[in-house]
Amino acid sequence: MEFLSRAILTRSESTQILCEMSQIDESTLDIQQTEDGVLGRLFVFSSTSPQTAISIKKYEDVTVGRGNANTYQLIQSTASYRHFRVYSVLVDDDMDPLVYCQDLSSNGTFLNHCLIGKGNVVLLSDGDILDVRHCASFLYQQKNITDDDYHHEYDGEEFSITHRLLGTGGFSRIYMAIENKTGRQYACKIIEKRKVSSSRFYDDHEVSILKKLNHPNIVHVAMDYNSESQFFIFEELVTGGDLFSYLTKMGTVPEVTCLFIMYQLLQALGYLHSQNIAHRDLKLENILIVSSSDSVFRIILTDFGVARCMENGKRMSTFVGTMEYTAPEVRDLKGRSRRCKELNMGYGKEVDIWSLGIIMYLLLSGNSPVFSTDGNIVFEDAIWKTISRQAKDLISSFLQKIPTERPTVEEALQHPWFFRHKSRLDKLYRTRILKRPSL
């Protein structure tokens, strides 16, 4: 089923909705927006109840449906018990949170006259209209949406790139794009060639690597485009934020949740390493979440800008990555990259295993790792008293200073922390990840 199936509204129904919405007092909206923590408003229009406004607040879900526990209750029998939910994701301190709507219904939730589809999620923009047919319509209003007039050179027919800024990186900016044929939302990564032309770390190989990959825990590229001065990568829009924002919200991640996150990361990394590809920049910000409505969610590995395919047993010698997550053998290369390359010295895929150890430590404790003077990891915070011995042992194995002493992906999955839950993890992965609905 298409993500946004085109639907036809009768003129009378459409006209009625638009006429009612034209009656909104904009000054009232401006006043209401000043409430602390309010990101936006859903203005409700229904023939069975007076006009009202629902506040969308940071980290607070809004649900609409027939059940009594919903934020806004629909009385019509055609509405589902929980028809849709609206939630926010914090991307960056310098950007407004992104507000999403997830369709939970049997009879459908419509965004701007297009069916979202049960289980699917869409990003909301100022002026969007959500419609529960024969029940109510909801006008979404959001001020201060991060938006700019960035110039791009894409002139293809498949997509329309909006001005809705979703994120920024060292070499790129990410915008929301719409697939013209289906109305489906995508993320468009735009890379300025002039910014990367002098860099040893980046070229258009990111697309060539991603095109070879097909894995449920690795970002999917729908299309790429190459203009005179820009690269364009159209990727699936992942709607749950990243692990960094998730950790910021949670403080720490429960061990049982961390278990399934790490299991998925190892599935993705095992696939990459089997293709002789090293990611080289594993970190919380590069691990995206598909709609975190419960503790079991799919994660997606993204940003392959410095990934490398290791050919013919050659070692890597470029000083890349993010310092907090970088393995010792990479840091030791600083200033010696050329000499190491000549001697085929350097590092291998083990650098990704080190980064996994940092990620796992951060998720469970909420703090950066502490090492002793001899280079061993230290579990001194009080929270580690609540964490299992097996989890700490696995982290220690990931963070071995000597690369060859770290486990491979296959060895890590045989560790007792995973192995004692193997049947449950395998079943969860099979039912919740491999048999997932389309984004």
Give the pair of three-digit tokens for residue 158. Answer: 């498949």
Give the contacts of 408 (CB within 8 A, at least 6 positions apart). 273, 353
Q: Which of 96, 281, 303, 352 is flagged as catalytic?
A: 281
Residue 10 has a CB neighbour count (10 Å cut-off) of 8
SS3 at position 428: helix
**pLDDT at residue 195, as a whole number:** 75
Q: What are phi and psi of 74, to 5 degrees?
A: -95, 140
- Specify the CATH number for 5-141; select among 2.60.200.20, 1.10.4160.10, 1.10.3720.10, 2.60.40.10: 2.60.200.20
SS3 at position 171: coil
**pLDDT at residue 147, as a whole number:** 65
Candidates 353, 232, 333, 187; CA nearest to 282 is 353
Instruction: Give the amino acid at 430.
Output: R
Give the pair of three-digit tokens for residue 382. Answer: 């009080």
Task: Write the pLDDT tens digit of every residue in 87-123.
Answer: 999 877 677 789 999 999 999 999 999 999 999 999 9
Candidates 54, 58, 89, 86; CA nearest to 72 is 54
Distance, in Å, from the CA atom of 87 to the CA atom of 64, rounded to the nearest integer, reads 12
**pLDDT at residue 179, as a whole number:** 96
Give the pair of three-digit tokens for residue 341. Answer: 């390359």
- Which residue(s) pair with 233 in the sheet? 189, 224
User: Residue 238 in contact with residue 91, Cβ under 8 Å?
Assistant: no
Give the pair of three-digit tokens for residue 196. Answer: 């990367």
Task: Write the pLDDT tens digit of every residue in 297-355.
Answer: 999 999 998 899 887 768 887 888 899 999 999 988 865 655 555 555 689 999 999 99
Give pLDDT < 70 ranges for the chain.
1-36, 93, 144-147, 197-205, 292-293, 313, 334-345, 436-439
Distance, in Å, from the CA atom of 405 to the CA atom of 329, rounded to the nearest integer, reads 13
User: Residue 58 in contact with residue 88, Cβ under 8 Å?
Assistant: yes
Residues annotated within the binding site are: 189
- Which residue(s) pair with 185 in the sheet? 178
SS3 at position 351: helix
Domain 243-434 has CATH 1.10.510.10: yes
* Alpha-carbon distances, residue 104 vs 30, 91, 189 (angstroms): 30, 24, 29
Give the contacts of 117 (CB within 8 A, at least 6 positions apart). 1, 2, 3, 4, 5, 103, 108
Give the pair of three-digit tokens for residue 162. Answer: 């909006």
Per the listing, tokens 């042992």 go with: 393
Q: What letter does residue 26 receive in the DSSP assignment?
A: H
SS3 at position 295: coil
Residue 268 has a CB neighbour count (10 Å cut-off) of 22
* Alpha-carbon distances, residue 188 vs 8, 159, 195, 230, 233 (angstroms): 28, 9, 18, 12, 6
Known catalytic membership, residue 204: no
Residues annotated within the binding site for ATP are: 189
- Which residue(s) pair with 187 in the sheet? 176, 235
Q: Where are the domains of the chain?
A: 5-141, 159-236, 243-434
CATH class of the domain defined by 159-236: alpha beta
User: Residue 203 in contact with residue 307, Cβ under 8 Å?
Assistant: no
Interior angle at CA 189, CA 183 and CA 191, nearest 5:
145
The reply to whether domains 5-141 and 159-236 share a CATH topology is: no
Q: What are phi and psi of 210, to 5 degrees?
A: -65, -35
Which run of H or E residues covers position 211?
Answer: helix 205-212
**pLDDT at residue 23, as a whole number:** 52
**pLDDT at residue 298, as a whole number:** 95
Residue burial 122-158, b: 16+ Cβ < 10 Å; e: rest: bbbbeebbbbbbebbbbbbbbeebbeeeeebebeeee
